[in-house]
Amino acid sequence: MNYSAYKNVNLLGGLLREKQELNRKITIHAVWKQFENTGRIGAFSCDWEEGMEQKPHIFWDSDVAKWMEGASYILAKTRDKELEAKIESLIDKFETNQQPDGYFNIYYTVCEPGMRFTKRENHELYCAGHFIEAAVAYYEATGKDRFLKLVMRYADLIDQTFHIKNSAAFTTPGHEEIELALIRLYQATNEPRYLALSKFFIEQRGANEKDGHCPSSQDFPIRSQRTATGHSVRCLYLYTAVSALAKELGDSELARRCQDIFFDIYSHKLYITGGVGSTNLYEGFTRKFDLPNRGAYAETCAAISLAYFCRNLLDLEKKSVYADILERTLFNGILSGLSIDGKAFFYENPLEINVKTNNRLIDAAGTERHAATQRKEVFDCSCCPPNINRFIEEYESFLYDREGESVYVHILAESTFDDGTAHVETHTNYPLDGKAKIVYRGAEFLCVRVPDWCSNFTASSPYTMENGYARFHHPGTVLLEFHMDPVLVEANLNVQNNIGRAALMFGPLVYCAESVDNGENLHALYVNQNLNAKVTFDPFFGANVIETDGFRKLQNSTALYRPYSENFFEKTRIKFIPYFGFANRGESDMLVYFKVKEIN
């Protein structure tokens, strides 16, 4: 994370700020409680023995580390003794149970002692990476360096084992993460060995016989990669690291590889919600334009890692496309991972729920896999909930950027930016509407992104367009309006399942409709192309809901087959809610893409 950008920002109001308050009041505590109940917190005592319940799992360390990171971001903004005490108690146990040579991994300490660094797929370095991120965050939030020093000892051991001696059973991690964590550790400590170790992991990938090939990882030499493949989270954590490394090294070839990967996703593999990963089978990317709605995997963590990747791409070059996708996933495919009450989560974020289809089998002989229709408080593999904890507290890091004499506004929010020289105040209800008043001083230029969804933009001052940003040349007050109307958006025709269908968007928000509002059989509803939309703020969602004109296809026969009846429709209104708010009012069908009826 670009911590300097983060600490200069004060998020003061609006939807994003409300989600942070929810996180601080509810979600961070809800996740802690589930982690206590499931044994993840207790596991830090490292006293599990064969035969006991709650056997530590290989990725539990990372779940708790992400929670620590998220809690640290809260501490960076607010004094919270309870959270700090919880983190300190975990650090105590980390210190107590860290091995003399610096090693720390609960699973390999109590479940498979003596087997450290032997199984590439066992998330060991992934867990280490998350501890590193947590320690850096805690250090930057509090100034306390105990945890940082503990993880540095561990990082030093990893450096010795993997980089210097090459003595582990594998060379690069099966699940990427530590690569980006080491760069953050380097940025926090200025110790070049950590940058070198990250570079080593990145460049050894796919170049090393010892690793074999794990088909769900990006096991190809990094400089030969052009397309997003394999496990989405692994791919995007890797490229988050590669883009940071490209920036640190000024390596334009690596930067180009990152851009290739991004544009492959952007052009072929991205859900309209900003979700990625079209199959549950390896939680990963599939072929171009393969974007099933009901079968979407679109893991919350994958969307979060896409946002991190976009943040680093913006660090490489200020082009609005990266912020467009960041915004798309931030307001849709990530936010949908959290329930409105802040206590429950989606691991997968499908674009359609069809309860009947999920229950199509009437017989115990067969089972089918369907995405969950209701959020859960904890998962066996509970990576997403603490990832939401930390991501929500990083909102500040996505809003602004400073580069030379320009301050960039990537995403509008009621907020301030102040880096000591430049000062920016943004007043806006975004994303409820597209109006903003921005006051800036101390920097020559203010560059405000004109979002991809906006076709009509007005400003009170003259500006020039540059890479998708409106660049203002005179400090002072700028009144902006990104005119926001409900619009129907269609996918490329190569996304065959969506041909003839469209999704409703309003500004950056994707909308969906649920049977709880619209009755059974959402597939029989057609959106009227002439929307005649009514936009209303709904406090339950903290966002606008939209009603449009539509049609319901009718039938006057119970026959299974009959001559096609051309035009047997009744007029109706369709109620849409923000996609991020689906599945919060009991089990319900949900649909994003609706058939469109052209007006005769």
CA distances 564 to 9, 219, 550, 557, 561, Å, are: 59, 52, 20, 12, 9
Placement of tokens 């180009």 in the chain? 256
Cα of 87 vs its chain's centroid, Å: 24
Cβ proximity to a copy of itself: between 404 and 563 the closer is 563
Nearer to a copy of itself (CB atom), residue 10 or residue 280: 280
Side-chain-side CA neighbours of residue 85 (13 Å): 3
Closest CA relative to residue 186, chosen from 207, 214, 208, 159: 159
Q: What element of type H or E holds 273? A: none
Nearer to a copy of itself, 267 or 374 (CB): 267
Q: Which is nearer to a copy of itself, 536 or 558 (CB)?
A: 558
Closest CA to 513 of 482, 483, 485, 486: 486
Where do we find the tokens 């069809």? 354
How far apart are CB 121 and a copy of itself at their closest, in Å?
Answer: 11
Dist. CA 564–CA 226, nearest whole Å = 47
Q: How far is the CB of 165 from a copy of itself (least distance, A)?
A: 31
Q: Say if CB 592 and CB 273 are below 8 A apart.
A: yes
Minimum separation from the CB atom of position 191 to a copy of itself (A): 36
| Shortest spacing between CB 353 and a copy of itself, in angstroms | 12
How far apart are CB 180 and a copy of itself at their closest, in Å?
A: 23
Tokens standing for residue 316: 């490489």
Closest CA to 370 of 59, 590, 576: 590
Q: Considering the complex, state which of residue 380 and residue 560 has its C-beta at the smaller distance from a copy of itself.
A: 560
Instruction: Give Dmax over CA atoms of the chain in angstroms.
Output: 78
CB 594 within 8 A of CB 513: yes
Instruction: Pick the closer one to a copy of itself by CB: 276 or 301.
Output: 276
Minimum distance from CB of 230 to a copy of itself (Å)? 6
Pairing of strands 593-597, 525-528: parallel
Least distance to a copy of itself, CB of residue 515, Å: 11
Nearest Cα neighbor of 127 from 68, 187, 66 is 66
Name which of 52 and 281 has its Cβ closer to a copy of itself. Answer: 281
Q: Are strands 534-538 and 543-553 parallel, antiparallel or unpaired?
A: antiparallel
223 burial (CB, 10 Å; 0-12 / 13-18 / 19+) is: middle
Q: Which residues contact 477 (CB under 8 A, 6 or more apart)?
A: 437, 438, 439, 460
Residue 22 or 353 with smaller CB distance to a copy of itself: 353
Q: What's the min distance (Å) between Cβ of 250 and a copy of itself? A: 31
**Nearest distance, CB of residue 325 and a copy of itself, angstroms:** 11
Q: Taking the CB of residue 529, how many other CB atoms lie within 10 A of it?
A: 13
Q: What does the block give as tokens for 434?
A: 């597209």
What order of strands is seen across the sheet that includes strand 400-403?
Answer: 400-403, 406-409, 445-449, 469-472, 463-466
Q: How far is the CB of 278 from a copy of itself (least distance, A)?
A: 7
Q: How far is the CB of 88 from a copy of itself (least distance, A)?
A: 40
Q: Looking at beta carbons only, is 149 or 287 nearer to a copy of itself?
A: 287
> Least distance to a copy of itself from the beta carbon of 588, Å?
15
166 versus 267: smaller Cβ distance to a copy of itself = 267
The CA distance from 384 to 335, in Å, is 11
Quick one: 76 or 355, whose CB is closer to a copy of itself? 355
d(CA 315, CA 145): 27
- Closest CB to a copy of itself among 352 and 401? 352
Q: Which helix (H) or strand (E) holds 326?
A: helix 320-328
